[in-house]
A and B are shown apart, each in its own frame.
Chain A
């Protein structure tokens, strides 16, 4: 229980924010942040001592969040994607680059978006992402490459970067 308290104190804020990024819903993120640590506590004896607690917890968090995404997708059953965000490019408004990039990330397909969140927010290595998402390391690499290519070619980001630069 002491380990759990330390884990919660050290990692729950990041887990909560990552779940928010994946689900785009603070209430669902709260559930995921709780569920992650309950699952981790139950499975603590199965944790490989050679693996870092951080990566292990984040892996559980990402899987829990993805389960929630899948559950929601089943419920909405192709009526709508999980809160699709359609942004009309505002070429006259020199918006904050970070906000524009965040919106562009939101427009990425889920498979790319979640990989990007794992890599650039949770700072998981490609090997850790492959374990978390149960995909090959080569697939992680190609997804990250594709995501970066799409974001680098995004017109909104180019405009915002031009305006701010």
Chain B
């Protein structure tokens, strides 16, 4: 009885769902819309900049309306310049140093930029660190990098799949300028910003760039100021992907066998039983395919977590002894912002007040003449 009503429900929903045809161009429109959504809009970029400006308050001594006017004029100018000047095309097939198959995690760390060989280009240093990691494992020599054991590479295997992640802390002289530049790095290298949070003089941005462009993006990040800390990790997920592929092959073979059984099934109960098993197998296949896609995405796009802060900025993780002073400053700044807002409103009312006064004087003069 329960099975009857369940099959009736399934049939009914299926029939009703097929009352409508899926629009032929829906998939194309969706993919295009997603592609557009992946790019931060001009409005979003402007809003982030405006938020940072609003939080900082006026530090130049000029009135806010003058700054706003200048900003608007600059935005218009930048927009037109931006449409004329495009960033240099970036080669996506740049070779990337990668460790051998087997699942090592290679970590390169530096503090205060002293950890690097002097005179070496940043991109070369990244490659050198990764290659050094491999050499260290095979030769038994030691380096300053933290290296997991690397099994020897086997010739004839497919290229290893590496998930690359970088973390950076950069101290800058001007937060506003550096923040804008940091956020533009992702777009410059055909990536996208997934998260950005800015405070008064400190901000954290998470961006994803094509893995081949990671070194260049990191080079640009270094140029923003003094590197306080920089970590690059390269995780080899080839082993996981090989496992997934093997599981998928087995599951698909099982699926084919079950489909054959389904074709031969005679009774309803037998059909239902095979179909249940088939559904379970398909769910497993989908799960593994998703994992594979996830890994592919992680391999294709490297992740950069960058913290940019102005020289002398307080560390938010360190409450220190200035928390009440900072709260007081924030309150004071908020109060001044409110006063500034009131002044702007009053300033906007001056023309209206002048008009009202003129009308009142005119009416009074007319009335007096009549009297």
Contact = CB atoms under 8 A, between A and B. Distances in A.
Contact of B5 (A1, A2, A148): A148
B279 A123 contact: yes
Contacts of A123: 279
A152 B13 contact: no
A30 B2 CA distance: 33
Interface string B13-38: 11111111011001101110111011
Contact of B38 (A12, A41, A100, A157): A41
B1 A152 contact: yes
Contacts of A120: 6, 9-10, 13
Nearest to B8: A101
Given A34-B26, A120-B13, A121-B17, A5 B31 contact: yes
Interface in A1-45: 1-6, 8-9, 12-13, 16-18, 20-21, 26, 29-30, 33-34, 37-38, 41-42, 44-45
B174 interface: no
B27 A12 contact: yes
Contacts of B22: 12-13, 16-17
B13 A45 contact: no
Contacts of B336: none
A121 B19 CA distance: 14
Given A49-B295, A123-B279, A98 B26 contact: no
B205 interface: no
Contacts of B16: 21, 98, 102, 105
A4 B34 contact: yes
B213 to A, nearest CB: 16
A94 interface: no
B290 interface: yes
A26 B12 contact: no
Interface stretch (A51-59, A67-75, A76-84, A134-142): A51-59
A26 B293 CA distance: 30
Contacts of A38: 30, 33-34, 37
A99 interface: yes
Contact of A53 (B13, B20, B37, B293): B293
Interface SS of B by simple majority = helix
Contact of B287 (A5, A51, A100, A148): A51
A34 B9 contact: no
Contacts of A152: 1, 5
B5 A18 contact: no
B194 A117 contact: no
Given A12-B30, A33-B26, A34-B29, A121 B10 contact: yes
A89 to B, nearest CB: 17
Contacts of B2: 148
B155 to A, nearest CB: 29
B294 interface: yes
Contact of B294 (A20, A49, A161): A49
B208 interface: yes
A125 B195 CA distance: 32
A12 B283 CA distance: 17
A44 B297 contact: yes
Contacts of B29: 34
B289 A157 contact: no
Contacts of A1: 31, 34-35, 38
**Interface residue tally on B, bucketed by range:** 35 or more
B286 interface: yes
Nearest to B279: A123
A20 B20 contact: yes
Contacts of B34: 1, 4, 37-38, 41
Given A12-B26, A53-B290, A17 B31 contact: no
Contacts of A12: 22, 26-27, 30
B11 A101 contact: yes
B9 A101 contact: yes
A157 B8 contact: yes
B296 interface: yes
A116 B33 CA distance: 31
Contacts of B294: 44, 47, 49
A3 B12 contact: no
Contacts of A2: 296
B13 A121 contact: yes
A50 interface: yes
A133 interface: no
Given A38-B30, A45-B303, A152-B1, 16 more contacts: A3-B293, A8-B31, A17-B17, A37-B34, A38-B33, A38-B34, A44-B294, A49-B291, A49-B295, A54-B286, A98-B11, A102-B16, A116-B13, A120-B9, A151-B5, A151-B8
Interface of A: 1-6, 8-9, 12-13, 16-18, 20-21, 26, 29-30, 33-34, 37-38, 41-42, 44-45, 47, 49-54, 56, 97-102, 105, 116-117, 120-121, 123, 148, 151-152, 157, 161
